Structure 1
Amino acid sequence: MIKVIALLLLLQNAASGEKYYLEFDNFLYPGVSNFPEFAMITVLDGYLQAYYDENVKHINEDWLKELIKENTKEWESTVQESLAYKNTLRELTKNFNTPSNQSEGKDIIQQITVCEWDEDTNYTFGHIKFGNNGEDFITIDTKTETWFAVNPKAKVITETWNAEEDSYGIVKNFFQNECQPLLKKFVKYGKSFLNTKVLPSVFLLQKSPSSPVTCQSTGFFPDKGIMFWRKDGEEIHEGVEHGDLLPNDDGSFQMSVYLEALKIPPEDWGRYECVFQLSGVQNYVVTKLDQDSIRSNNPKNEGLLTTTSIAVIATMGCVIVIIIVALSSTAFKKRNVTHSIERSSTPSSETASL
């Protein structure tokens, strides 16, 4: 379960304004050790809300627990239907298996179902796609109401699906009568959670005088933040390297940005600042490049957190993530979502299944 949850954290997306989306991910892991044969996760605006398999049930947020408490029978019914979907998904994707894996039963299938809702305009949209062993396989074209083979291997399968009577009608019914109502209910209960803004703690790290200076931020929420170095108030790119956005155990996030300070004359250090911006928050976190405030493993700063410590932790986390992605093969190409914020101005379960 922990591995699947960690994987989901990698697949987070960003929401914008009053637009929301609810995502259901169904997984088949036949023959994969230490993974359940079938698992499903529920994501609201990029944040994990629930994980279920046949042995484990995990609810991530208090607001969802409250929703379940007030809608217990409806939720339990949805859970049972969703778990029973394993057999449907297995039958639906039985021809996904590649010849080399048919005897071993080790193909990994993922189905991603997403419905979106614009609260201001009441516009709704739905999307479904399938992945096979880490590759995009099949998606649905809602304009033509047909299935489309992203991978040439899936062409015969989509031809069969499109030939079936009312194939799209089943999908449309799910979006309108199950996914969209559930999304609106989730937003009703979870809106305060979605509107939560928490600024990070920011500090400077340096392994040695010749090492880059790391500007480390941690504890911010949501994940819609950016960091950059600037000189005399202008963002710079030369000598700057950006680290990855990583999740913390408490649901918050961390990130870092590095500066090649060795090339900067000591008298110019005061002209440089590390800036953190969180979307929707007017106040920025600004940290000046100052030798006295840098935490390092030099004798004068003995006992303080070092860049090495952060690097080891980050490296371990990345290794785990790489193993998860390689094992689950579910990191197939999702829709591109940017976490960028305009820098030129201040930013004024279970699931029911098809």
Structure 2
Amino acid sequence: MGALGLLLLLGLLSGGSAVIHSLRYFVTGSSGLSSFPEFVAVGMVDEVQFVHYDSVSKRAVPKQAWMDQVNRDRPDYWERETGRYQGGQQVFKGNVETAKKRFNQTGGAHIVQRMSGCEWDDEDDTTDGYYQYAYDGEDFIAFDLKTLTWVAPVRQAVPTKLRWDQNRAGNQYRKNYYTKECVDWLKKHLAYGKSTLQRTERPQVSLLQRTPSSPVVCHATGFYPDRVVVFWRRDGQELHEQVDPGEVLPNHDGTFQVSVDLDLTAVPQEDWGRYECVVQLKGIEDIPTPLDPALIRTNGGKSHLLVFILVGVAVAAVVVAAAVVGVFVYQKRNGSSDSCSENTQGQNPAPEAQPLTTDCLTFPRSLSALSACVSLGLK
């Protein structure tokens, strides 16, 4: 999915103590997909979903118990969030039709996706933000916070770029919001969900091998957060060849797992002692596991089979989740229930997009308000 897909996969830290926290919102408007709602919005903090809305339920609902703190602060929070998502639902229905016209399409299944949000490095306090659209799984247009201009990777997005580039005040506001106020909301959500989001759970590490000729798999599971580094090394030096790293996958209990394969085809068993798998996770000491044949679980052991079954279940869950996030990419932010006097019907990315109102330029006090006020339309 290009840059949009890459951003969704960001999250690995490089073995140090810093953690890059993220607040992301995904919205998808679709047509011709009978298996999915026409509109889905999802909010995630540090890759943990905390809010969900779709066009079937027509309700914004919390996905984490710690979001009750928001409701205590603002009793009408979910009602106002629901109203804002319902407005966005109509906007994205128009977005899909606009995009189809741009690409000279009539029938078939099509989706318009948006991802926006911010990141914060808790060590050096640097921030970053992003706001971008995709159409049918390919990058369509994205905002460059450094130049305050829009990048159009396809010619069908050029009319949108030309129009949005002229809105200098809105672009400056968007930069300030996603690098400052969005970060404030990110920190607030980290505080709301501190016991969950800022916990550290130590991984269990196993060495697995299906057959004597198969690669040896270093499997770490049960860890949190997902920002883990797992690698093989020989004689104390990290290996970049012979290894095949896997993706970090979710477990059913909210923890994560990951596997890294080591190809030992050309390595005599007497040299195995030179190898070890290392797991690095913030808040704990490195976990080295030597490549000892006595520690390897094979297909003959139930525990090994169970582990691989769990891996398969997690992979299946990720495939479903990827479809949901891919086929539902987001629109709206979280934060307080404050809103601004903006008609959300004007959020279509194309030449006729409605401009920001004065109230929206001066008044948004939350991520939700920004979503309603600053989101542009494809028209």
Q: Above 0.5 in TM-score?
A: yes
| Percent identity between the two aligned chains | 35
SS of the aligned residue for 1:198 comes to coil
Q: In 2 relative to 1, CA 9–295 (structure 1 residues): closer, same or farther, beyond 3 Å?
A: farther
The alpha-carbon deviation at position 179 of structure 1 amounts to: 4.0
| 1:241-256 equivalences in 2 (<5 Å) | 241-256=244-259
1:132-179: CA deviation from partner (whole Å, max 9, x where unpaired): 111111122344544332322111222234456955377468659974
**Counterpart-to-counterpart distance in 1, 2:61 and 2:259:** 30
> Is the CA contact 2:41–2:52 (under 8 Å) kept in the aligned structure 1?
yes
SS of the aligned residue for 2:113 comes to strand
Gaps of 5+ in 1: 1-6, 332-349
**Counterpart-to-counterpart distance in 1, 2:287 and 2:170:** 52
The alpha-carbon deviation at position 206 of structure 1 amounts to: 1.4
> Is the CA contact 1:11–1:46 (under 8 Å) kept in the aligned structure 2?
no
1:204-256: CA deviation from partner (whole Å, max 9, x where unpaired): 21112222221211111111112122233332344322222211122211111
1:260-310: CA deviation from partner (whole Å, max 9, x where unpaired): 3354333333332221111x2341222222222222124xx4x33238646
**Counterpart-to-counterpart distance in 2, 1:187 and 1:226:** 22
Question: Does residue 1:183 correspond to 2:186, yes or no?
Answer: yes
**Counterpart-to-counterpart distance in 2, 1:206 and 1:118:** 37
**Counterpart-to-counterpart distance in 2, 1:268 and 1:121:** 42
Question: Does residue 1:267 correspond to 2:265, yes or no?
Answer: no
Task: Give the aligned partner of residue 80 of structure 2.
Answer: 77
SS of the aligned residue for 1:211 comes to coil
**Counterpart-to-counterpart distance in 2, 1:315 and 1:197:** 23
Task: Give the aligned partner of residue 27 of structure 2.
Answer: 26
Question: Does residue 1:52 correspond to 2:53, yes or no?
Answer: yes
The alpha-carbon deviation at position 39 of structure 1 amounts to: 1.0
Superposed CA RMSD in Å reads 3.8
Question: Does residue 1:153 correspond to 2:151, yes or no?
Answer: no
Task: Give the aligned partner of residue 11 of structure 2.
Answer: 13
Q: Match for 1:62: what amino acid?
A: A
Task: Give the aligned partner of residue 304 of structure 2.
Answer: 305
| 1:1-354 equivalences in 2 (<5 Å) | 11=9, 13=11, 17=18, 20-54=21-55, 55=57, 57-91=60-94, 94-98=97-101, 102-104=105-107, 106-116=109-119, 126-163=129-166, 167-168=170-171, 171=174, 179=182, 182-278=185-281, 280-298=282-300, 301=301, 303-306=302-305, 309=309, 312-313=312-313, 316=316, 320=320, 328=327, 351-352=368-369, 353=371, 354=375
**Counterpart-to-counterpart distance in 1, 2:269 and 2:234:** 14
**Counterpart-to-counterpart distance in 2, 1:164 and 1:94:** 24
Normalising by structure 2, we get a TM-score of 0.71
The alpha-carbon deviation at position 81 of structure 1 amounts to: 1.4
SS of the aligned residue for 2:261 comes to strand
The alpha-carbon deviation at position 40 of structure 1 amounts to: 0.7
Equivalenced residue count is 326
1:8-63: CA deviation from partner (whole Å, max 9, x where unpaired): 99646358847644222111022211211111111223332222213165533332
Normalising by structure 1, we get a TM-score of 0.75
> Is the CA contact 2:207–2:219 (under 8 Å) kept in the aligned structure 1?
yes
**Counterpart-to-counterpart distance in 1, 2:114 and 2:218:** 38
Task: Give the aligned partner of residue 347 of structure 1.
Answer: none
Q: Match for 1:290: what amino acid?
A: D
The alpha-carbon deviation at position 201 of structure 1 amounts to: 1.0
Gaps of 5+ in 2: 331-366
SS of the aligned residue for 2:297 comes to strand
> Is the CA contact 1:272–1:288 (under 8 Å) kept in the aligned structure 2?
yes
